[in-house]
Structure 1
Amino acid sequence: MTITQLPAPVVTADELEHRLSPPESLRPWITEIAHIPTVRPEAMAFTHVPQAVTTIVLRTEESGRRDALVVGPRTRASYANPSKPAGCTRIRLAPGASQPLLGLPAADLTNRVALLADLPGTAADLAGALTELAPEDILPFLESELPQRLSEDRTRRDHRRLLGSAVAAMDASAPITDLATSLAISERQLRNLFTTGIGVSPKHYARITRVRQVLSAAGGIVSAAGNTPWSHVATANGYYDQSHMTADFRSLMGVPPTAYFRGDIPAPTPCQSLTRFMN
């Protein structure tokens, strides 16, 4: 089967972002800051793609209401229609940064949404100030505040750096055993690093990475009305074959890739409810 049909509009939140790289002083904890302008309710669904990243979300409604939220790693896609006009700024945390910034291992936030002010970490003290800032003022504020507020012992800093090396070295199609060997640690240590520092296992991290690659690769092909076989997309992104890719895609996105790219996606669901943490 080839990719020939043009898609019905399937909009992902990532496609609307304007992204900025943080300065060197923030890179141990933050990988990216992305701004989404005000989005108005539409007839089409809004897709939140799986992502193995913990994110601080500063949300501003057109009415003026502002919230500072923490969105944990998402292991499956969700589909929603915005109920109110709103924009947001997303602060994506680096692997291993959840504990020093938020006071919790990333696994405690997986598939959860919480108020930043409810969490026990350093960033909670900045929640009020962050909600008052214009998007262009967020980076300078974080650069002036975070480095002087954060402190890590040597063990935690070494774990964070090792995790960063693991993420950088990961080949989504390679056995996890090979990655552990290349880092001179056991598979158990590697799993613990990923679960604590990222919120998902190395295997699930690799699955999310592959599906995101398929979304990017196939989306470009479809938009150009190409005739590339799905089997080629599968092998180019580390799958054994097309059926393996389809099963993984359906598991994480809720529908197979052919359905997704023609706009036949799951019905929108309400926004995820907040998980309350005792600060």
Structure 2
Amino acid sequence: MQSPVAVQTADGFEESVPAPESLRPWIAEVGRIPVLTHLPTHFTHVPQAVTTLVLRTEPSGRRDALVVGPRTRATYAGAKEPAGCLRLRLAPGAVRPLFGVAATDLTNRVLRLADMPGPAAELAREIIEMDLGDIVLFLESTLPQVLSESPTRREHRRLLDSAVAAIDGDAAPLREVATRLAVSERQLRNLFTAGVGVSPKHYARITRVRQVIDAAGNTPWSDIAVATGYYDQSHLTADFRSLMGVTPDRFFKGKLPAPTACQSVTTLAG
């Protein structure tokens, strides 16, 4: 049985709520992280298979609007200075309507919202000047006016929603999910990669590792492996180490990889 320490993750500082119904076609969740006065020496960014619009505010008042793509591996960062942020997690299939690119173009990248080619970039200047509490209300009134989608794109988003729900709910294999949705495996894989940013298989791996982190406590690893869909404990350990860079035992004992610099902002051409 493991005795985990309080590993500091970026998500652990966040308070999140579902997005308002009017934003659900594009934004699934709204998270807020307050300005932290007592910074941890280092913290973990757990892999996450979603694209996030991050509105970051420094104590000086300086603001950034960033687009953070899906993260396929964990990173370990050292905190440099206090900052608070609003994090808007996109729904499956929402990247192209908002930002004008496929989600896979953003995977493991951070870009400035103002540099994106899609309609959301036109809102960057207004968003940066707003109080964080006003941004969601502004998007509720604005996004439905600036976004238009074809019936085909709406159907693709519906398929992605159903596929994500199936993988999240019962870890169904791709073949079974495709059969349920009456599409080919190849079509579903292509839709998933373009609309989510990772393959269905990698999405399932990230989901399971996040479930392991949430479930860790005084429960044997073998029981957690079964509960989270692994064949056995050795498969859990191998997958965790592949995505987190360290075994579960070392992770929860606080024996983490050395912190590295925060991910740099790039451009689509970079």
Q: TM-score, normalised by structure 1?
A: 0.93
Q: Equivalent residue for 1:168?
A: 165
Q: Equivalent residue for 2:187?
A: 189
Q: Secondary structure at the match of 1:32?
A: strand
Contact 1:95 1:160 in 2 (8 A): yes
Q: Equivalent residue for 1:230?
A: 221
- For 1:215, which of 193, 197, 213 is the aligned residue? 213
Cα distance in 1 between the residues matched to 2:4 and 2:226: 22
The correspondence of residues 90-169 of structure 1 with structure 2, limited to 5 A, is: 90-169=87-166
Contact 1:10 1:44 in 2 (8 A): no
1:64, distance to aligned residue in structure 2 (A): 1.6
Q: Secondary structure at the match of 1:240?
A: coil
After superposition, the CA RMSD in angstroms is: 1.3
**CA deviation digits over 1:95-127, x for unaligned, max 9?**
000000011100000000000000001110111
Q: Secondary structure at the match of 2:34?
A: strand
Q: Secondary structure at the match of 1:76?
A: coil
- For 1:241, which of 232, 249, 252 is the aligned residue? 232
Cα distance in 1 between the residues matched to 2:200 and 2:4: 34
- For 1:56, which of 53, 56, 59 is the aligned residue? 53
**CA deviation digits over 1:186-218, x for unaligned, max 9?**
110111011100000000000000000000001
Q: Secondary structure at the match of 1:194?
A: helix
Question: Please, which moves more after superposition, 124-133 or 96-105?
Answer: 124-133
Contact 2:8 2:40 in 1 (8 A): no
Q: Equivalent residue for 1:264?
A: 255
Question: Please, which moves more after superposition, 130-139 or 64-73?
Answer: 130-139
Question: Please, which moves more after superposition, 128-137 or 230-239?
Answer: 128-137
Cα distance in 2 between the residues matched to 1:87 and 1:191: 36
Q: Equivalent residue for 1:84?
A: 81
* Identity, % of aligned positions: 65
| Letter aligned with residue 264 of structure 2 | S
1:157, distance to aligned residue in structure 2 (A): 1.0
Q: Equivalent residue for 1:252?
A: 243
| Letter aligned with residue 96 of structure 2 | Q
Cα distance in 2 between the residues matched to 1:183 and 1:252: 29
Cα distance in 2 between the residues matched to 1:146 and 1:53: 19
Contact 2:30 2:87 in 1 (8 A): yes
Q: TM-score, normalised by structure 2?
A: 0.96
Q: Secondary structure at the match of 1:38?
A: coil
Contact 1:55 1:72 in 2 (8 A): yes
Question: Please, which moves more after superposition, 268-277 or 234-243?
Answer: 268-277
Please list every run of 5 or more consecutive structure 2 residues that lacks an aligned counterpart in the other structure.
none
Contact 2:50 2:89 in 1 (8 A): yes
Contact 1:42 1:81 in 2 (8 A): no
**CA deviation digits over 1:219-268, x for unaligned, max 9?**
xx2xxxx2x21100101100000000000000111101000001111111
Question: Please, which moves more after superposition, 31-40 or 241-250?
Answer: 31-40
Question: Please, which moves more after superposition, 170-179 or 157-166?
Answer: 170-179
Please list every run of 5 or more consecutive structure 1 residues that lacks an aligned counterpart in the other structure.
none
Q: Secondary structure at the match of 1:165?
A: helix
Distance 1:172 1:201, change over 3 A: farther
1:83, distance to aligned residue in structure 2 (A): 1.1
| Letter aligned with residue 179 of structure 1 | V
1:176, distance to aligned residue in structure 2 (A): 1.4
